[in-house]
Amino acid sequence: PHPGYSKSASSTSSGGRAGRASSDSVRPKGAGRGSGRGGGIRDGEHTGFLRMRGLPFTATKGEIHEFFKRYEPIEDSICLTYRSDGRATGEGYIAFSKPDDAKSAMALHRNTMGNRYIELYISNKE
C-alpha cells in the first residue's frame, strides 16, 4: 500500500473522488477557468493556431486534418506531442489558413474523434 493510505480512509465520505473534488475547488484568487493544468484560452483574439487536447492516442495527422477539413487547416502544420517514452500525450497543435478559420473551427470544441471528445484552445506559433 501507498504511505498514508488505509482501507478505512477510503470508505469515509471524504475519501475517493469527493475528496479530490473538494481540494480542487480551493484555488488562489484569480485562478479561474482556463488557468492551471491542462486548460487554456477559449475566448480572445485568434491567431490562426489551436491547441488540441483529448486526441485519441492513435490519432494520425491525416485523421486530424479530416476532422478540421471544412475550416481549411494547414496539413503540414499539425504537430502531435509525445512523452519522453514515445507514447502520445493526446495533445497537439494545428494552424489554419486565416485566424478567422481557426475561430470558426472552435465550433468543434468537445466534438468527438473516435471515442474521445476534443477540447480546443487558442494557441500561437510558438
Report whether pLDDT(51) > 70.
Answer: yes
Task: With cut-offs at 50, 70 and 90, classify the pLDDT of residue 38.
Answer: low
Report residue 69 as a C-alpha cell: 477539413
* pLDDT beyond 50 at 5: no
Residue 42 is predicted with a pLDDT of 80
Between the alpha carbon of residue 92 and those of residues 26, 98, 99, 122, the distances in Å are 29, 19, 18, 12
